[in-house]
């Protein structure tokens, strides 16, 4: 079945939610809403069947949350049809409330895949902001709604919904603040969370702002907004890069964003500021309080930023050393296996019949250079060959040094044997010119290149593909010189 484009999903939701905005409370608007919501959930479950790897479970919680909300809507309609008057609290509320933790768990699982060992700072920052969010919800949403009310199931349930929004706010903050790419499906998830929070908060504050009839009409109009937010969750699942959400963003260095400092400053100053303004009378006293809190918060944040910058520098250095060969600067064996696993997953996801392709390179004559001129000369040869290899790579290719004089190139954008052999020939030509040293010594070397395409090996893993390329390289090395490039 042909996949529905992710960008088309919000368009479908907008079309199905439009009647709720123009015909609030009508049967046609409600049926259109249910049809659109059901379609979204069905698309999500169908897409989950094709997602590989552990990402599927995280997305599964998200689609499960949407399914629970849909079942809650259907149950509420059934109860209204059976009993006419359902009351302020119904079994559907249990389903609607249970969707919040399911959604939060799904988001956190996806973030944990992307940055499994670097979530501590993001979690702490998110909890700081969520604490302020929880207090604001308590002060301006929950308390006004329950004021002068006796404790009852309706009061308890009404207080739980804003707390569910706080949970989503915390999960969204972690998603935004955690390391990793914010492109592709992550953008859809962030947009969905933002719209969900706006819609939920608007619905939660309705009882304290307008009369019953207007509240019902406006709540019906907001169904379209909630449908749009739900469609963005599904769009993230349908995105072509949904399986790559765990892939780190290697295009830029992770640094402390200025917006993060501003959010932390707001979280640090908000509660003392609200408390002080309520306790102090007089303009002069309130102004002095605000100035004092602002200055103290700024000083604390400056000190915080200086410490974090130092940690970032050390962390960046250690991260580079952990994934790169120190002599050549190329990816090391660990980084190669990670890139190869992602490439194989992408190939299965996209149904690639040929790629990825692995090129195994072994320098000819390197041992003789080491034995005759010493290890320093050997290091010069390795570094120069790595420089030439990097210059020859195309966008998306990955070069790695496995150790000694063995190198590997991973290419995902090849589709035929002819393209693979053409690249192999270019790699062989890297040693046409001898390597010269600063003292004018010249070292002549060669290179044997083995090629293995995943599409020709069935369903290989990284070790199988690497072994196949290695075996092909040795067969090339042992051939007569006039047959190597044949």
Q: Is residue 88 part of a domain?
A: yes
| 55-69, 173-187, 285-299, 381-395, range with the lowest pLDDT | 173-187
Domain boundary among 275, 298, 323: 323
d(CA 328, CA 360): 17
Q: Is residue 313 part of a domain?
A: yes
CA 41: distance to chain centroid? 21
Q: Is residue 423 part of a domain?
A: yes
Query: So what's the pLDDT on residue 55?
Result: 85
**Tokens representing 330?**
């190329």
Asked if residue 348 and residue 318 are part of one domain, the reply reads no
Asked if residue 108 and residue 60 are part of one domain, the reply reads yes
Q: 165-179 pLDDT, tens per residue?
A: 888 888 888 888 777
d(CA 281, CA 325): 64
Note whether 114 and 248 are within 8 A (CB). yes
H or E element: which one contains 403? strand 398-403
Q: Tell the residue number behind the tokens 């001129």, with chain if given.
A: 373
Asked if residue 341 and residue 318 are part of one domain, the reply reads no
Asked if residue 268 and residue 217 are part of one domain, the reply reads no
Query: So what's the pLDDT on residue 1?
Result: 45
* Largest Cα span, the chain: 95
Q: 284-323 pLDDT, tens per residue?
A: 887 888 888 888 888 888 888 888 788 878 877 777 777 8
Greater pLDDT, 219 or 469: 469
Q: Is residue 255 part of a domain?
A: no
Q: Is residue 94 part of a domain?
A: yes
Mean pLDDT of 121-141: 80
Asked if residue 175 and residue 214 are part of one domain, the reply reads yes
Strand partners, 447: 363
279: exposed, middle or buried (Cβ count in 10 Å: 0-12, 13-18, 19+) = exposed
Greater pLDDT, 270 or 319: 270
% of the chain residues with pLDDT over 90: 32
> Is residue 228 pLDDT above 80, yes or no?
yes
- In degrees, rounded to 5, the angle at the alpha carbon of residue 217 between the alpha carbons of residues 150 and 96 is 60
Mean pLDDT of 319-348: 86
Average pLDDT score over the chain: 83
Query: So what's the pLDDT on residue 145?
Result: 65
Mean pLDDT of 253-270: 73
What sections of 324-374 are H helices per DSSP? Answer: 333-350, 366-373
Task: Give me the catalytic one of 165, 405, 432, 482.
Answer: 405
Look up 405 and say whether it is catalytic.
yes
Q: Is residue 3 part of a domain?
A: no
Asked if residue 176 and residue 280 are part of one domain, the reply reads no
Boundaries of domain holding 272:
261-323
Domain boundary among 304, 323, 342: 323
Query: So what's the pLDDT on residue 305?
Result: 82
Strand partners, 411: 357
d(CA 396, CA 400): 13
Mean pLDDT of 385-395: 91
Asked if residue 294 and residue 230 are part of one domain, the reply reads no
| 52-66, 130-144, 378-392, 408-422, range with the lowest pLDDT | 130-144
Greater pLDDT, 222 or 215: 222
Note whether 84 and 132 are within 8 A (CB). no
Domain boundary among 206, 222, 250: 250
Secondary structure, 3-state, 424-481: HHHHHHHHCCCEECCCCCEECCEEEEEEEEHHHCCCCCHHHHHHHHHHHHHHHHCCCH
Greater pLDDT, 408 or 176: 408
Note whether 6 and 238 are within 8 A (CB). yes
Q: Is residue 180 part of a domain?
A: yes
Asked if residue 267 and residue 209 are part of one domain, the reply reads no
Note whether 353 and 412 are within 8 A (CB). no
CA 113: distance to chain centroid? 8
Q: Is residue 2 part of a domain?
A: no
Q: 410-443 pLDDT, tens per residue?
A: 998 888 999 999 999 999 999 999 998 876 788 9
Q: Tell the residue number behind the tokens 């303009």, with chain if given.
A: 283
Greater pLDDT, 317 or 463: 463
Query: So what's the pLDDT on residue 484?
Result: 42
Asked if residue 87 and residue 184 are part of one domain, the reply reads yes
98: exposed, middle or buried (Cβ count in 10 Å: 0-12, 13-18, 19+) = middle
**Tokens representing 117?**
């060992």
d(CA 377, CA 384): 11
Greater pLDDT, 2 or 109: 109
d(CA 249, CA 181): 5
With H, G, I as helix, E, B as strand and everything else as coil, classify residue 256. Answer: coil
Q: What is the dihedral of CA 16, 20, 25, 29, to 10 degrees?
A: -20
DSSP state of 394: P
- Pick from 14, 28, 73, 67: which is nearest to 44 by CA? 67
> Is residue 251 pLDDT above 50, yes or no?
no
Asked if residue 96 and residue 41 are part of one domain, the reply reads yes
d(CA 257, CA 330): 28
Q: Is the pTM of this model over 0.75?
A: no
Note whether 169 and 197 are within 8 A (CB). yes
**Tokens representing 172?**
């969204």
The count of structural domains within the chain is 3
Query: So what's the pLDDT on residue 347?
Result: 84
């Amino acid at each position: 079945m042909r996949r529905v484009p992710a960008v088309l999903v919000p368009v479908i939701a907008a079309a199905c939610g439009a009647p709720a905005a123009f015909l609030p409370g009508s049967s046609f608007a409600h049926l259109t809403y249910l049809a659109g919501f059901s379609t979204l959930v069905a698309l999500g479950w169908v897409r989950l069947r094709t997602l590989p790897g552990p990402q599927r479970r995280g997305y599964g919680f998200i689609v499960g949350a949407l399914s629970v909300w849909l079942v809650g809507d259907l149950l509420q309609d059934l109860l209204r049809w059976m009993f006419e008057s359902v009351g302020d609290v119904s079994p559907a509320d249990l389903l609607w409330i249970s969707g919040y933790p399911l959604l939060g768990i799904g988001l956190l699982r996806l973030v944990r895949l992307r940055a499994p060992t670097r979530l501590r700072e993001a979690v702490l920052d998110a909890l700081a902001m969520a604490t302020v969010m929880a207090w604001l919800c308590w002060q301006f949403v929950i308390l006004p709604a329950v004021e002068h009310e006796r404790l009852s199931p309706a009061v308890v349930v009404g207080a739980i919904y804003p707390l569910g929004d706080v949970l989503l706010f915390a999960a969204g903050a972690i998603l935004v603040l955690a390391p990793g790419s914010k492109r592709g499906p992550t953008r859809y998830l962030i947009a969905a969370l933002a719209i969900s929070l706006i819609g939920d908060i608007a619905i939660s504050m309705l009882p304290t702002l307008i009369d019953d009839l207007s509240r019902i009409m406006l709540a019906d109009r907001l169904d379209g907004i909630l449908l749009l937010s739900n469609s963005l969750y599904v769009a993230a699942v349908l995105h072509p890069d949904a399986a790559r959400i765990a892939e780190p963003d290697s295009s830029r260095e992770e640094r402390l964003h200025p917006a993060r400092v501003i959010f932390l400053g707001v979280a640090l100053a908000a509660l003392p500021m609200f408390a002080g303004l309520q306790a102090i009378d007089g303009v002069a006293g309130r102004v002095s309080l605000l100035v004092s809190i602002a200055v103290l918060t700024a000083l604390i944040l400056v000190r915080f930023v200086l410490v974090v910058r130092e940690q970032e520098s050390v962390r960046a250095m250690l991260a580079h050393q952990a994934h790169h060969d120190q002599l050549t600067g190329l990816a090391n064996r660990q980084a190669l296996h990670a890139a190869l696993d992602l490439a194989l997953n992408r190939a299965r996801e996209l149904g690639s019949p040929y790629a990825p392709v692995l090129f195994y390179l072994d320098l000819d004559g390197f041992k003789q250079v080491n034995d005759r001129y010493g290890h320093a000369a050997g290091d010069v040869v390795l570094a120069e060959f790595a420089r030439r290899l990097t210059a020859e790579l195309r966008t998306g290719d990955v070069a790695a040094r496995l150790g000694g004089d063995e190198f590997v190139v991973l290419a995902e954008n090849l589709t035929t044997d002819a393209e693979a052999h053409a690249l192999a020939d270019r790699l062989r030509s890297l040693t046409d010119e001898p390597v010269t040293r600063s003292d004018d010594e010249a070292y002549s070397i060669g290179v044997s290149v083995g090629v293995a395409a995943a599409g020709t090996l069935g369903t290989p893993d990284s070790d199988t593909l690497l072994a196949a390329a290695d075996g092909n390289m040795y067969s090339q090395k042992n051939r007569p010189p006039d047959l190597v490039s044949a």
